[in-house]
Structure 1
Amino acid sequence: MSDLSKLKNVGKAALADFAVLGIASTAQLAACEPDDLYVKLCALTGQRHDPCVHDVFAATIHQARTGEALNWWTFTPARKERMKAGTFCKV
């Protein structure tokens, strides 16, 4: 079992997304940015994913970097503000 599966917001879907992205460890995840992962996932799968996937990426990266396990929806308001401002990832 991957150490990624021990992160708070990681279930089967997130593990599958990480596999598509080539991310196999928490250390590797810690070096990533949520925007980059979201855009890359959409490109690799040929589809726009629910923006909540970005929030999961943000939460898991935060935990990988800091050890603090926050719920993914903690990151939703900031993403929604960026969407409103037009500064969220262009997919």
Structure 2
Amino acid sequence: MNPAKVVRNEVKRLTDLPNIGKACAADLRLLGIESPEQLLGQDPYEMYSRINRLTGQIHDPCMLDVFISVTRFMAGDDPKPWSYYTEERKQALTQL
């Protein structure tokens, strides 16, 4: 969903989350995440690594930005576009 349209107390399904449409919801389900609450405490970098292993392909790094956005949202941050996290992801990956 477009982050500008997200209403926190109305988030019930994965597609109610910021930046999550049908395709990303399917990716989350592949990771065993069926509800937004299951994102609490998840490590977005580990999620990205798992989705790559499970599918046998390297996903676009923007998928990591999406994972960061939804885990942060569920931890209490305001909804933000996934691109907000791109620079943070780039910095984090250069430090590994």
Q: Which interval holds the TM-score relative to the shorter structure?
A: 0.7 to 0.9
Unaligned runs of 5+ in 1: none
Unaligned runs of 5+ in 2: 1-11
The two structures, once aligned, show a CA RMSD in angstroms of: 1.3
CA distance in 1, matches of 2:70, 2:51: 15
Q: Does residue 1:82 correspond to 2:92, yes or no? A: yes
CA distance in 2, matches of 1:74, 1:46: 27
Where in structure 2 are the equivalents of 1:1-91 lying within 5 Å? 3-66=13-76, 68-83=78-93, 85-87=94-96
Q: Which runs of 4+ in 1 moved over 2 A?
A: none
CA distance in 1, matches of 2:68, 2:36: 13
Count of residues paired in the alignment: 85
**TM-score (normalizing by structure 1):** 0.86
